[in-house]
A and B are shown apart, each in its own frame.
Chain A
Amino acid sequence: MSTDMNVVHELASREYEWGFVTEIEEDRIRKGLDEDVIRMISAKKQEPGFMLEWRLNAYRYWVQQERKQAEPRWANVRFAPIDYQDIVYYSAPKQKKQLSSLDELDPEILRTYEKLGIPLAEQKLLANVAVDAVFDSVSVATTFKEKLAEIGVIFCSFSEAVQKHPELVKKYLGSVVPHTDNFYAALNAAVFSDGSFVYVPKGVRCPLELSTYFRINAQETGQFERTLIIADEGSYVSYLEGCTAPVRDENQLHAAVVELVALDNAQIRYSTVQNWYPGDKNGKGGIYNFVTKRGKCLGRNSKISWTQVETGSAITWKYPSCILQGDNSVGEFYSVALTNNYQQADTGTKMIHLGKNTKSTIVSKGISAGHGQNTYRGMVKILKGAEGARNYTQCDSLLIGDKCGAHTFPYIEVKNSSARMEHEAATSKIGEDQLFYLQQRGLKTEDAVSMIVNGFCKQVFRELPMEFAVEAQKLLSVSLEGSVG
């Protein structure tokens, strides 16, 4: 490679900025997983009986699956077997008593979020973003709760929803991702300790961006959160999640579940900027991000959009999907996935068309650098009743350097002949030609690379809420530093 490319390579040594550890007293349970652990978690959360039953059910299913070694192995990722008995399934910052306001939150945790650029103190917040912060296993603060409650929007931790809105939880929990869906979904259903809950009532357009920030802090813990968002008829909500974790030598498991439900004429935008610790440049450590995300367009004319920018994690296994059940419903998936160093990603989406005139759009941008391996895996399924269904899929890969890989696995299953499908795919390499051209006009190598990559991702970035689009661009540049060589 040319010396210009080496210049960028030298910048590689930049460390993961978010890798610090917060010193805080933890309330954690023993390592390992059995029925007693499930009971302990449920008891700690003072859950009603139906939740414990639900968890135990899931746990028993998971045990069977584990015996059958049914952990998914079809993804294009390689990792050593996970010892599920070597993980702590519940860890929470120790709180003396129930919090009545943010002022009572442990200042260390507040400082952590400030360092991450997520100030929880409400007055400092971006005027239109409400934040739910999940620290290890539990939600530690939800901002703007009262303001939202005035218009009937419920935005709280999952634990609180179980206590205060059990009827909604009972009705929708597991209705989109049942515990039998897959191995990690079963595990999550058994041990999930917290997460966010959103309910937007009929006809309400949620005036704030709702946001959850996930932080894994404790050692040897897994994080298993669960998010449930329900948009009632004619409502609209935009939701964003961000994630970081400290630098640790061992791999940590993150197995989350997100369920979205959109009723008639409702719209949900769900955006993710995922920046879990990716491991060091030799591939040691990092988060295993094994996540099940699915939305159900239950109602007519409903719409669910997933936008994700995935730059972190050692391994990503994630397919935010849409079940297009209501007639005329719309599903969208916009994704940027970047793998640098030894990161591996197998990500994409599933669009399941059930209703008439349902439409889906998939735009996936995979960027591979270093020794990174990037796989797009997508399924578009048009069922018999889905008269007039349409899908447009575009998946593009960008390669930086010659040691990385890009792979594409599109699956298409059409059972209704009126369906219209379009699929476009392209693979390109940041060529020396492009770099030289930009340099010849006076741009430095790293600025040139960043410009090319941002150009490549533009279609996805413009789907993100403004503030986050800027953040995503910056994150991408940082994650790419040192990638050319």
Chain B
Amino acid sequence: MSLLEIKNLHVRVDGNEILKGIDLTVNAGEVHSIMGPNGSGKSTLAQVLARRDAYEITDGSVTLDGKDLLAMKPEEAACEGVFLAFQYPVEIPGIGNTYFLRSALNAQRKYRGQEEMDAMDFLPLFREKLALLEMDDKLMSRSLNEGFSGGEKKRNEILQMAILEPKLAILDETDSGLDIDALRIVANGVNSLRNPERAMLVVTHYQRLLNYIVPDFVHVLVDGRIVRSGGKELALELEEKGYSWAEPETAGVGASAAPALRRDGARA
């Protein structure tokens, strides 16, 4: 059984169809990249998988470890192991970073029937992950993301991911707003979290990030459909030739070609 199986997913926002039949299979241990131009539906896909409520699902199914993901509330999906690193992490005044992280971890542990972690047990884990992301622990005594620079916010997302240890990590445009040093640190953090039990979905529209986080598979999303799938070299080809190259001559060709490639990829 695959970790994530998306079948014929159709999604509307305010009456407009954004996703027009997505098929995607992700196995544990794999890193898939979703690339596509602005407005192609990448972020919508990420948010739907994290169970944001603003979307109307008109057709299709999504399972996580065989469970119906679309029937879950956001907090259930989170507790089942879906983590979304946000493109724009929100600031919440008055909530300490450390307190928030421990509350989130404990909410998830409780859901899974594990014992809650007290501050004493939490601290060493927390320090270890802070070091991994080269973060200053002064930041942690501040309120959640408040006054953080763009890069600090993104690092904080990966820190949260490192502590929550999800089964499926979705990175939504994690590279946007990062300078080259921050990008390297974030990518190191992400790479250190790659393991045979965990899958990642890396959403980006630049190839740059994929030099650092090297995907096993690349899918090209255009206008709500996956028009091409391939290995990591597809990203380079895209960079060179542009998204218009990836778009099918006719809808029929793209629609039939893409799933075939995807299946090859998934088996590899």
Q: Which residues of A does B touch, CB under 8 Å?
A: 2-4, 431-434, 436-445, 447, 451-452, 454-459
Contact = CB atoms under 8 A, between A and B. Distances in A.
Contact of A444 (B50, B94, B107, B164): B107
B90 A443 contact: no
Given A442-B108, A444-B107, A437 B75 contact: no
B94 A459 contact: yes
B94 A457 contact: yes
B107 A443 contact: yes
A458 B53 contact: no
A456 B50 CA distance: 26
Given A451-B103, A454-B94, A456-B93, A441 B73 contact: no
B190 to A, nearest CB: 18
Contacts of A457: 94
Contacts, number: 80
B107 A452 contact: no
Contacts of B95: 451-452, 454-455
Interface of B: 50, 52-54, 73-75, 77-79, 83-84, 86, 89-90, 92-95, 100, 103-105, 107-108, 111, 143-144, 160, 164
A442 B52 contact: no
Contacts of A447: 103, 107
Contacts of B160: 441
A436 B193 CA distance: 24
30 contacts: A2-B53, A3-B53, A3-B73, A433-B90, A436-B50, A436-B74, A438-B100, A439-B73, A439-B74, A439-B75, A439-B78, A440-B50, A440-B74, A440-B78, A440-B83, A441-B78, A441-B104, A441-B160, A442-B75, A442-B105, A442-B107, A442-B164, A443-B75, A451-B95, A454-B95, A455-B92, A455-B143, A455-B144, A456-B93, A456-B94
- In the A-B complex, the 6 residue pairs with the smallest Cβ-Cβ separation, listed nearest first, are A455-B94, A441-B104, A458-B94, A2-B53, A439-B74, A455-B95
A324 B268 CA distance: 78
A458 B144 CA distance: 13
A456 B75 CA distance: 22
A451 B107 CA distance: 13
A447 B103 CA distance: 10
A443 B52 CA distance: 14
Contacts of A439: 73-75, 78
Contacts of A437: 86, 89-90, 92
Contacts of A443: 75, 103-104, 107
B42 to A, nearest CB: 17
Contacts of A436: 50, 52-53, 74
Nearest to A431: B90
